[in-house]
Amino acid sequence: MSTPANPITRRLALPGWSVLRFSLTLIAAALLAAAIVTGVFVIFWIGIPVAVAVLLAIRVWANAQRRIIGEQLGVAIPAPYRPRPKARLDQQALWLIREPATWRDFAWLAIDATLGFLVNLLYLGVFSVAVYYLVQPFLLVTVFHSAQTPFVNDFGFYDFDTPAKTLMLVPFALACGVAWWRWGELLLRWYSHLGVLLLGPTANALLTERVTELRHARDQTAGHAAAELRRIERDLHDGAQARIAALSLTLGMAEELLSNDRPKQAAALVGEARQACSDALEEIRQLVRGIHPPVLADRGFTGALQAMALDHPLPVSVVDRLVGKLPPPLEAAAYFATNEILTNITKHAQASQVQIIVHREHDQVVIEVRDDGIGGASFSPGGGLDGVRSRLAAFDGTVEVDSPEGGPTVVTMTIPAAAVDLGIAHNAASAHPF
């Protein structure tokens, strides 16, 4: 379940959350006792597998806390654990003990078994007192009027043992209800934020993970760049260079014919050389276009997408809500990524129409490519979508695919782009979504 967004509904749902959290504090107390007992017997061999089992049980409990606290606060709390190695039990126990997240879980376990118990008990106690003394007069008049009251109302200085006397406790119940309504949620949210601090990854862990991601993206980018250079070298060697070498031989033969006073044959060879020169020039143009399409420099990203849509065999509509111009490297990456997705749609989607929507969300450029094909698109090693993800990873971009069987398919590319020239006029192409 998730916490309702409406403030009134959320406050009314909080007692259920508190009951759930209160039950977890009881489990925390049992796990804390088991961990202490296991720590005593861990010096014996029999205590090692028990220690591993207890530590893994604490992780399960901590993950349940992360999920519940995250749903209550509306945030995501990722698990900060490193992959567990496949090793002997004693090595696994040693690895779990050395894991920093284990001790943070244990700290939250001790806090939740004590402070968490008191916080949730206080919250539920105030709520229960408010409800109890508000409904007690009604229950004494209707349900328990002919029997001895089971309710305890003897405060020592006075015994509220009749319906009329219990009405004197209604103001006390209302005060507890106001306190519960006003400060109960704040108390639970404060305690939940304390849990986020201990259960979530530390700043050092987040930085390490980020550095790892950037290193992986850098290695992928370097690999793609090296592969692209090899492709250019191969295309030049097998294409334009071979044509230019043949052109040189042809011109040499024409020169020899001219020296032998055979102008007609020489003119024919010069004509062939002229055609070979045109073919070589066209190959070089195609090669340069693959490095950086001239349409990007001439018409910008939006114009390049529209040109791409006109050249595509399927009907493609472009909806441009992007204000400003993108940096050239990002523009080229977004262009080639979109082109790769359109190529995948042509090969696999069996679609009848495609729509491209480009817009900005704060400091991010979002490109959505939708088709009405058969669906089932997914990331596969070496596939087109995997290549798009690797290309955009160099710019800290992400790719998400929503493609149920039977379609439709929506591929969403998100690329950070803080540097955008807002002075460029906004171009929009209207289209009707399908």
**H-helix or E-strand spanning residue 423:** none
Q: Are strands 398-402 and 316-321 parallel, antiparallel or unpaired?
A: unpaired
In whole angstroms, give the CA distance from residue 82 to residue 87: 15
- Show contacts of 82-90: CB within 8 Å, 24+ apart: 89/48, 89/49, 89/52, 90/48
Q: CB atoms < 10 A from the CB of 153, how many?
A: 16
Q: CB atoms < 10 A from the CB of 274, how many?
A: 12
Contacts of 105 (CB under 8 A, 6+ apart): 58, 59, 61, 62, 198, 199
**Residues 360/391/421/308 CA torsion (nearest 10 deg):** -80
**H-helix or E-strand spanning residue 186:** helix 170-199
Contacts of 319 (CB under 8 A, 6+ apart): 355, 356, 357, 358, 428, 429, 430, 431
> DSSP letter string over 12-25?
HHHHHHHHHHHHHH
What pLDDT, on the 0 to 100 scale, is given for residue 286? 66
pLDDT in tens, 183-229: 988 898 899 888 888 888 777 766 776 777 677 766 666 666 666 66
What pLDDT, on the 0 to 100 scale, is given for residue 422? 37
**H-helix or E-strand spanning residue 321:** strand 316-321
In whole angstroms, give the CA distance from residue 164 to residue 145: 12
**Sequential pLDDT tens for the chain (434 residues):** 556 667 778 888 888 888 989 999 999 999 999 888 887 776 666 677 888 888 889 999 999 999 988 888 888 888 888 777 787 777 777 888 888 888 888 899 999 999 999 999 999 999 988 888 888 777 776 766 544 555 556 565 555 666 667 777 788 888 988 998 889 888 988 998 888 888 887 777 667 767 776 777 666 666 666 666 676 666 666 666 767 777 778 778 877 777 887 887 878 878 877 777 877 777 776 666 556 666 777 777 778 888 888 878 888 888 888 777 777 777 888 888 888 888 888 888 888 888 888 888 877 888 889 888 888 888 877 777 887 887 787 777 888 888 888 878 899 988 887 544 433 333 333 333 33
What pLDDT, on the 0 to 100 scale, is given for residue 433? 37
Residue 240 in contact with residue 287, Cβ under 8 Å?
yes
What pLDDT, on the 0 to 100 scale, is given for residue 432? 37
**Residues 115/120/122/128 CA torsion (nearest 10 deg):** -170
Residue 429 in contact with residue 320, Cβ under 8 Å?
yes
Beta bridge partners of 366: 359, 414
Q: How many residues does the chain have?
A: 434
In whole angstroms, give the CA distance from residue 263 to residue 374: 63
Exposed, middle or buried, 73 (CB in 10 Å: 0-12/13-18/19+)?
Answer: middle
Radius of gyration over alpha carbons of the chain, in Å? 35
Helix locations, 312-370, DSSP H: 328-344
Q: Which two tokens stand for residue 96?
A: 């779990």
Residue 107 in contact with residue 62, Cβ under 8 Å?
no
> Reduced to 3 states, what is the DSSP secondary structure of residue 426?
coil
Q: Which two tokens stand for residue 233?
A: 């070298």
What pLDDT, on the 0 to 100 scale, is given for residue 424? 37
**H-helix or E-strand spanning residue 416:** strand 409-416
Residue 113 in contact with residue 25, Cβ under 8 Å?
yes
Q: What is the pTM of this model?
A: 0.53
